[in-house]
Amino acid sequence: MKRREPDDDLIGHLIDAGAREHYADATLYDYEYRRRRADVNFYRELAKLRLGKGKKRILELGAGSGRVTIPLARDGHTVVALDQAPSMLAKLRKRTLALPEASRGRVEAVEGDLCTFELPGTFDLVIAAFNVFEHLYTRGEVDACLRRVLAHLAPGGALAFDVQLPDLEWLSRDPSKRWARTKFTDPSTGHRLMYSTNHDYDPVSQIALIRIFYDPIEGAPTPPRVVQLSQRKFFPAELEALVAHAGMVMVERYGDFSGGPLGPTSDSQILVCEAVVPRRKSGR
């Protein structure tokens, strides 16, 4: 057995923190991504095309505060929304209560883990929007999640998800510098803050350890804060192989949420996958 080095424990702690800290403040999270709509429209259209009308069910993995869940419910779909962040689920339940009664009854929020979830019944569509799969840090975790999806997928059902296309220039940035400096007003406190980021990237594990800095400006009585975010990066051929290894086949792939092809300038990889149907053995 390979001896575990002291730094392994530190890196493991940072990865774990990066899976949680970015999602601890649901109000700030919603504010930061309030203009992100293209993926919502994509998943709404996909659900409309694949499910049509009738009593069909959607499972949303990493549903968060309901940015995609709520529009799907308004469209008439029944959605089981799974997440492990208490703050996000609390916000989702609050948003669900504000829906009209008919839509409200179509949403069920469930706390669960991507690799071990077990839910009653099957689903006609499983989705994981906004880089949720980037919180699967090892090949084993990816495989465990995909096999959980397969166990919950109805015949003819599909899995749709998106992850970022790795940007080698971005990944190799100087980790000692700050990037993406932006001034904003904290929606909870009203204090003026400076947002900036930097990161370390390990090309072997393909994990980026991202630091998000919130620094007070203009005399704001707020202490500086650093939030960890850890993301596993996936390359296209690797992602297709991981899907195939779990017993699924990629049936659609896009490079943007308008259905454009995947290419070198794409920001995202959007995949639609189905279960591999085993061939019947021919008898004599």
What are the CA-CA distances from residue 75 to residues 60, 63, 158 (Å)? 15, 16, 19
pLDDT, one tens digit per residue, over 75-119 is 999 999 999 999 999 999 999 999 999 999 999 999 999 999 999
Looking at the fold, whether 136 and 177 belong to one and the same domain comes out as: no
- Say what angle helices 139-152 and 236-245 make with each other, to 10 degrees: 50
pLDDT, one tens digit per residue, over 230-260 is 999 999 999 999 999 999 999 999 999 999 9
Cβ atoms of residues 179 and 200 within 8 Å:
no
Inform me whether the pLDDT recorded for 18 exceeds 60: yes
Amino acid 10: pLDDT? 63
Inform me whether the pLDDT recorded for 1 exceeds 70: no
Looking at the fold, whether 80 and 206 belong to one and the same domain comes out as: no
Per the structure, the count of domains in the chain is 2
| CA 75 – CA 72 distance, rounded (Å) | 5
Amino acid 274: pLDDT? 98
Kindly state the percentage of the chain with pLDDT values over 70: 95
Q: Average pLDDT for residues 129-157, to the nearest whole number?
A: 97
Q: Show which of 199, 217, 232 is a domain's final residue.
A: 232
Looking at the fold, whether 49 and 174 belong to one and the same domain comes out as: no
Amino acid 271: pLDDT? 98
**Of 140, 128, 1, 14, which Cα lies nearest the Cα of 61?**
128
Inform me whether the pLDDT recorded for 141 exceeds 80: yes
Looking at the fold, whether 113 and 153 belong to one and the same domain comes out as: yes
* Residues making up the chain, counted from first to last: 284
- Is residue 99 included in any domain, yes or no? yes
- Is residue 281 included in any domain, yes or no? no
- Is residue 192 included in any domain, yes or no? yes
Inform me whether the pLDDT recorded for 34 exceeds 60: yes
Coil, strand or helix at 213: strand
Looking at the fold, whether 190 and 76 belong to one and the same domain comes out as: no
- Is residue 27 included in any domain, yes or no? no
Looking at the fold, whether 94 and 207 belong to one and the same domain comes out as: no
Looking at the fold, whether 82 and 152 belong to one and the same domain comes out as: yes
Looking at the fold, whether 147 and 269 belong to one and the same domain comes out as: yes
The label of the residue with tokens 């970022």 reads 164
Looking at the fold, whether 197 and 64 belong to one and the same domain comes out as: no
- Is residue 40 included in any domain, yes or no? yes
CA dihedral 181, 85, 161, 45 (to 10 degrees): -90
**Of 224, 226, 213, 132, which Cα lies nearest the Cα of 178?**
213
Q: What letter represents residue 60's amino acid? A: E
Q: Average pLDDT for residues 169-183, to the nearest whole number?
A: 97
Counting Cβ atoms within 10 Å, is residue 14 exposed (0-12), middle (13-18) or buried (19+)?
Answer: middle
Looking at the fold, whether 144 and 189 belong to one and the same domain comes out as: no
Amino acid 281: pLDDT? 59
CA triple 33-36-42, angle to 5 deg: 140
The residue with greater pLDDT, 219 or 14, is 219
Task: Kindly give, in sequence order, each residue whose CB lies less than 8 Å from that of residue 168, ignoring residues fewer than 6 positions away.
Answer: none
| CA 105 – CA 111 distance, rounded (Å) | 18
Looking at the fold, whether 64 and 178 belong to one and the same domain comes out as: no
Count the Cβ atoms, other than its own, within 10 Å of residue 40: 18
Assign residue 250 the CATH number of its domain.
Answer: 3.40.50.150
Task: Kindly give, in sequence order, each residue whose CB lies less than 8 Å from that of residue 38, ignoring residues fewer than 6 positions away.
Answer: 256, 257, 258
Structural domain span for residue 177? 168-232
- Is residue 156 included in any domain, yes or no? yes
- Is residue 21 included in any domain, yes or no? no
pLDDT, one tens digit per residue, over 149-174 is 999 999 999 999 999 999 999 999 99
- Is residue 79 included in any domain, yes or no? yes
Looking at the fold, whether 175 and 197 belong to one and the same domain comes out as: yes
- Give me the DSSP letters along 101-168: HHHHTTEEEEE--TTT---SS-EEEEEE-SSGGGG--SHHHHHHHHHHHHHHEEEEEEEEEEEEPP-H
pTM: 0.93
| CA 243 – CA 271 distance, rounded (Å) | 10
Amino acid 14: pLDDT? 79
Burial readout 147-183 (b: 16 or more C-beta within 10 A, e: otherwise) = ebbbebbeeebbbbbbbbbbeeeeeeeeeeeeeeeee
